[in-house]
């Protein structure tokens, strides 16, 4: 797992300022995504545990959004340069460097985990380990909202992402991974193409029983 993560970290370290500028609007142009994150935050608040992790937080724009939506968020990212930028951009919030298969959190600590396009660079065979780690840190009743590029085919598709290679997923296949990790999927939203490649935006909301 280490080699591709090292490549991903180096790739994102090299595009911090450009990446941050591209996502500075914090989803003002993406109403469906905003709606799913708002619903996620409301449901997490309803668990009685407002602690949430934004895994793969990048420059911290969505960590800040979770805070505005009433959660107590922690931003985590593989890229130290991204974490440094997030700390400077949002000094009132907490950001730490972490690998997604080894989150620096105790068992059952969180009411929610947001994984916004943060697992797209993970090879399919390694994805179950990341999901298991996210389930580990969720309290019973806690929620995971994951977003990814969706494809209509039967198998994940590797493609040349602008930063580093990534994968698009059949929505049903990804939902099966969530079930295999012990989660119950409660909502899904698939909408307009996310890029010129024609992939759809997909969001799955799941709960730990």
Residue of 88, 85, 204, 198 whose CA lies nearest to 151: 198
DSSP state of 125: G
**Predicted local confidence at residue 97, as pLDDT:** 95
Calpha distance 142→129 (Å, rounded): 18
**Under 8 Å between Cβ of 181 and 190:** no
Calpha distance 105→140 (Å, rounded): 15
Calpha distance 120→161 (Å, rounded): 9
**Beta strands 157-159 and 72-77: pairing type?**
unpaired
**Over the stretch 2-13, which tens digit does the pLDDT of each residue have?**
666 766 665 665
**Predicted local confidence at residue 47, as pLDDT:** 97
User: What is the three-class DSSP state of 150?
Assistant: strand
**Over the stretch 28-53, which tens digit does the pLDDT of each residue have?**
778 999 999 999 999 999 999 999 99
Residue written as tokens 């130290």? Answer: 80
**Predicted local confidence at residue 50, as pLDDT:** 98
Q: Which phi and psi angles does 88 have, rounded to 5°?
A: -75, -40
pTM, whole model, 2 decimals? 0.91
Domain of residue 186, CATH code: 3.40.50.150
**Over the stretch 108-129, which tens digit does the pLDDT of each residue have?**
999 999 999 999 989 999 999 9
Q: What share of the chain is helix, strand, coil (3-state, %, to 5)?
A: 35, 30, 35
Range of the domain at 123: 2-207
What lies within 8 Å, CB to CB, of 196 at 6+ separation is none
Domain count along the chain: 1
Q: What percent of the chain has pLDDT over 90?
A: 69
Residue 153's pLDDT band, with cuts at 50, 70 and 90, is: confident
Long-range contact set of residues 149-153: C-beta below 8 Å, sequence gap at least 24: 149/117, 149/120, 149/194, 149/195, 149/197, 149/199, 149/200, 149/201, 149/202, 150/174, 150/190, 150/199, 150/200, 150/201, 150/202, 151/199, 151/200
pLDDT at 1 over 60: no
């Amino acid at each position: 797992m280490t080699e591709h993560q090292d490549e991903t970290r180096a790739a994102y370290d090299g595009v911090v300022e450009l990446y941050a500028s591209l996502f500075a609007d914090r989803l003002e142009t993406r109403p469906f995504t905003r709606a799913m994150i708002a619903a996620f935050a409301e449901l997490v608040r309803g668990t009685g545990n407002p602690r949430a992790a934004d895994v793969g937080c990048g420059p911290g724009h969505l960590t800040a959004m979770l805070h505005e939506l009433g959660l107590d968020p922690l931003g985590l990212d593989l890229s130290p340069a991204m974490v440094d930028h997030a700390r400077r951009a949002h000094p009132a919030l907490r950001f730490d460097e972490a690998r997604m298969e080894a989150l620096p959190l105790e068992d059952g600590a969180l009411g929610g985990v947001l994984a916004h396009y943060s697992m797209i660079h993970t090879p399919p065979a390694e994805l179950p380990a990341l999901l298991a780690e996210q389930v580990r840190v969720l309290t019973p009743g806690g929620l995971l909202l994951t977003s990814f590029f969706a494809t209509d085919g039967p198998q994940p598709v590797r493609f040349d992402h602008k930063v580093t290679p990534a994968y698009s997923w059949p929505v049903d296949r990804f939902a099966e991974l969530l079930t295999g990790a012990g989660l119950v999927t409660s909502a899904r939203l698939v909408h307009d193409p996310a890029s010129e490649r024609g992939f759809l935006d997909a969001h799955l909301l799941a709960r730990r029983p």
